[in-house]
Chain A
Amino acid sequence: MFKSQALPEFLATIDNDKCIRCKRCIQNCGWSVYEWSGERVLIDSSKCVKCLRCYHYCPVEAIQILDNPTKYKENSSWTFNNIKNLKRQAETGGMPLSGMGCSLPYPILFDSLLLDACQVTNPSIDPLREPMELRTYLGKKPNKVEVERGKDGKLKLKTKMPPRIELSAPFIFSPMSFGAISLNAQKVLAMAAKECGIVMNTGEGGFHEDLKPYSKSVMVQVASGRFGVNPEYLNAGVAVEIKIGQGAKPGIGGHLPGEKIPLQVAKTRMIPVGTDAISPAPQHDIYSIEDLRQLIYAIKEATGYKPVSVKIATVHNVAAIASGIVRAGADIVYLDGFRGGTGAAPSVIRDNLGIPIEHALAAVDDRLRQEGIRNEASVVAAGGIRSAADAAKAIALGADAVAIGTAALMTMGCTVCGKCYTGNCSWGITTQRPELTARLDPEVYGQRLVNLITAWKHELQEILGALGVNAVESLRGSRERLRGVGLDDNILDILGVKPAGR
């Protein structure tokens, strides 16, 4: 056993004068950074991932997690991560893995877009005192609607509406499976979704019976591993999603590492305990748009025609692909931008494949409009939605709703340390170790997630009020209400947005 030449990123430190030897740091760390010597706490910084669990649970603030001051010699080309990954590869022959979304400094266009507001010539609306509609329906919209007068004299809808999902606001939770995250984390999502009138998504890992009380707020997923899929599962929620790809790892499948496959996860997935749960790269019954159509309608036949969503990673030719998906009969197209999160992806894939959600969303919305099929499916934007502002900008670019994953996990304690694939999450989120998952109380953290969505709803209402519109529907695809700052002509053209000042 030799000492790894990959430098530790962080330095965990304890002020021994302050330390009261309560050993809570030892208990709380899922990474075994701390150990009891008999007199004081010993530290192995090479295991530290800076998830800050110990810091939060140290009663006397004796712990500090520092960036390791010992760095490789500074070099703009050979960055810390380049060298560290290379050393790890030299030692193991393996591909470095990453959790969470791409962390490299690619431009984030949301940060170069500004929303409009009303002044003098058109009145803004005060959402605190006036109605402000956030309700959103996901699914097909008819080409026209007819109304008729009922026997009671009231107007009612004559057109039979296609199946759709009703949301109290244009937010949904991204798919995260039981296996990738703990059952308690799934419960947090389900409880919050129910309370907020939105939906969560089971991901590809089966529908645990504990989620049954929340089934009206759950969407189930069918992916290439087909884990946990049976007729009961397909009918368990309000809609079914076919996962073709994920923004963090476009074009590759999933390997849920064996460390995260204890008995219960193995049982729901029907695979041996401790093996890697393999979701093949493609779904081998889908090699074409026609094949996709076949699976969409197989699911519709098996569910009495519930809405079917198709999730893809945003890749170069995303607009044409999305058009095919809509024509294949999907009710929802879920676009996952390359900054989207993951429980585990080879770093080389996560950091180098795909395109950002902003470009993809604008291109898809344009294409569907040009072809006259924009109403045939809703578009969900995901992969890097960090705030209500990002959500509002995505909606203005053409999204019907946005999906959040990482943001939701942060309410449970996640600090984006990015080590989800190890199964050691000290916050009890991306782990199946019972002593760690027990920390995540669904009631307590469910409320925090409800708080986040409540706050975002208020923020979105304030933005809409400032824009002088009283429904989120009026912002949808309204790129005239966006301006770009510091963007070149090409990008402005792709986004369909004018530069600030025009």
Chain B
Amino acid sequence: MFEIEAKGVYFKELNEMIRAAIKDGEKDITLKNVNGQYYIGTGLCEKVNITIDGVPGNDLAAFMDGPTLLVQSNAQDNIANTMNSGKVVVHGHAGDVLGYGMRGGKLHIKSDVGYRVGIHMKGQKKNSPVIISGGTAGDFFGEYMAGGTLVLLGLEVEDGTPLVGDYLGSGMHGGQIFIRGEVDPTRCGAEVGVMELTEADLKVLRKYLEDFCKDFDLDIEEVMSKPFEKLEPVMARPYGNLYAY
């Protein structure tokens, strides 16, 4: 375990210290007293574990390709921006625009997330990103989604309270969204359909949730005990008829 004291250190120097430690071969790094520094883990490509003590700033894990980041408190906006691979685990809430254009890896948020989460996520067979939030989400969840998986659990929400804001999956043309509970179709974008989960879906979902539950010490059976609904694009080309050729 290698410790870096982040108190009062500007983001540029902090990231230089992290990169230097990785270059020296450190595999397990703890950042002490982090207080809003931007870009932690941004652009890192090595298989290392970084534990963050304190609240990291925006663009945590942007363009990241490999590391595992563990945030022991809340986190802010733009986590996993265009992230390629690796994992980010947040033991609290997180802000807006999480996983924008995310291409791979996992983002696990224990509680609520903000607006425009998982927008324009992409994916292919081998490289498929996953975002799971244990709480609720704001508007435009999964907007323009082109691939990957979004899961919203609402674990601490009372029955009947909406889990997600308006324009859910608006412009979605690939990927899948799983919501634990009933989805109000009036909140959905015109491009998505709400369907029941197939056996295959449940298998995939269980695999993702097992990992999530392990991270936060939750009971998988309890999480899976409530029915889920699945959102998928109803058209491969939602805007195919927009133009006159």
- Write the residues of chain A forming the contact surface with B, with a CB cutoff of 8 angstroms: 85, 88-89, 91-97, 222, 224-227, 229-232, 234, 255, 257-258, 267, 269-272, 274-276, 278, 280, 284-285, 294-295, 297-299, 301-303, 346, 421-422
Contact yes or no, B63 A231, CB < 8 A: yes
What is the CA–CA distance of A294 and B60 in the complex, to the nearest angstrom? 11
Task: Report if B176 contacts A (CB, 8 A).
Answer: no
List B contacts of A278 (CB < 8 A). 120, 144, 146, 171, 173, 239
Q: Are A96 and B243 also in contact (CB < 8 A) when A230-B65, A275-B237 are? A: yes
Task: Report if B157 contacts A (CB, 8 A).
Answer: no
Contact yes or no, B82 A230, CB < 8 A: yes
Q: Are A226 and B39 also in contact (CB < 8 A) when A294-B58, A422-B245 are? A: no
Contact yes or no, B144 A285, CB < 8 A: no
Contact yes or no, A255 B239, CB < 8 A: yes
What is the CA–CA distance of A448 and B241 in the complex, to the nearest angstrom? 38
Of the listed stretches B96-104, B198-206, B220-228, chain A binds: B96-104
From B124, B144, B241, give the contact of A280 (CB < 8 A). B144
Chain B's closest residue to A90 (CB) is B244
Interface members, chain B 71-103 (any A CB < 8 Å)? 77-78, 81-82, 84, 97, 100-101, 103
Contact yes or no, A226 B38, CB < 8 A: no
What is the CA–CA distance of A364 and B81 in the complex, to the nearest angstrom? 31
Contact yes or no, A275 B236, CB < 8 A: yes
What is the CA–CA distance of A346 and B245 in the complex, to the nearest angstrom? 10
Contact yes or no, A226 B78, CB < 8 A: no
Q: List 7 A-B contacts (CB under 8 A).
A: A96-B244, A224-B120, A229-B101, A230-B65, A275-B237, A280-B171, A421-B243
From A225, A258, A298, give the contact of B120 (CB < 8 A). A225
Contact yes or no, B101 A226, CB < 8 A: yes
List B contacts of A85 (CB < 8 A). 244
- How many residues on the B side are at the interface (Cβ–Cβ under 8 A)? 47
Interface of B is mostly: loop
Contact yes or no, A298 B62, CB < 8 A: yes
Min C-beta distance of A248 to chain B, whole Å: 15
List A contacts of B84 (CB < 8 A). 230-231
Contact yes or no, B15 A272, CB < 8 A: no
Q: Are A270 and B244 also in contact (CB < 8 A) when A284-B119, A285-B78, A294-B59 are? A: no
Chain B's closest residue to A89 (CB) is B244
Chain B's closest residue to A229 (CB) is B82
From A94, A280, A299, give the contact of B243 (CB < 8 A). A94
Contact yes or no, B124 A270, CB < 8 A: yes
List B contacts of A297 (CB < 8 A). 38-39
Contact yes or no, B146 A97, CB < 8 A: no
What is the CA–CA distance of A88 and B239 in the complex, to the nearest angstrom? 18
Chain A's closest residue to B101 (CB) is A226
Contact yes or no, A301 B173, CB < 8 A: no
Contact yes or no, A275 B78, CB < 8 A: no
From A226, A255, A270, A280, give the contact of B242 (CB < 8 A). A255
Contact yes or no, B244 A88, CB < 8 A: yes
Contact yes or no, B146 A284, CB < 8 A: no
List B contacts of A301 (CB < 8 A). 11-12, 15, 39, 42-43, 62
Contact yes or no, A270 B146, CB < 8 A: yes
List A contacts of B240 (CB < 8 A). 258, 276
Task: Report if B174 contacts A (CB, 8 A).
Answer: yes
What is the CA–CA distance of A272 and B174 in the complex, to the nearest angstrom? 7
Chain B's closest residue to A228 (CB) is B103
Contact yes or no, B245 A284, CB < 8 A: no
Scan B150-186; emit 1 where CB is below 8 A from any A CB, else 0: 0000000000000000000001011000000000000
Min C-beta distance of A313 to chain B, whole Å: 20
Contact yes or no, B146 A275, CB < 8 A: yes
Contact yes or no, A231 B242, CB < 8 A: no
Q: Are A294 and B78 also in contact (CB < 8 A) when A231-B45, A234-B43 are? A: yes
Task: Report if B54 contacts A (CB, 8 A).
Answer: no
Contact yes or no, A226 B120, CB < 8 A: yes
Contact yes or no, A95 B243, CB < 8 A: yes
List B contacts of A89 (CB < 8 A). 244
What is the CA–CA distance of A85 and B245 in the complex, to the nearest angstrom? 10
Q: Are A272 and B173 also in contact (CB < 8 A) when A95-B243, A226-B100, A255-B242 are? A: yes
Min C-beta distance of A99 to chain B, whole Å: 11
List A contacts of B127 (CB < 8 A). 270
List A contacts of B135 (CB < 8 A). none
What is the CA–CA distance of A125 and B122 in the complex, to the nearest angstrom? 57
What is the CA–CA distance of A224 and B143 in the complex, to the nearest angstrom? 13
Contact yes or no, B242 A275, CB < 8 A: no
Chain A's closest residue to B148 (CB) is A270
List A contacts of B144 (CB < 8 A). 278, 280
Interface members, chain B 117-159 (any A CB < 8 Å)? 119-120, 122-124, 127, 143-144, 146-147
Known: A227-B122, A231-B64, A276-B238. 18 other contacts (CB 8 A): A85-B244, A224-B120, A230-B82, A231-B65, A271-B122, A272-B147, A272-B173, A274-B236, A275-B174, A276-B240, A278-B120, A284-B100, A285-B81, A297-B39, A298-B59, A298-B62, A301-B43, A421-B243
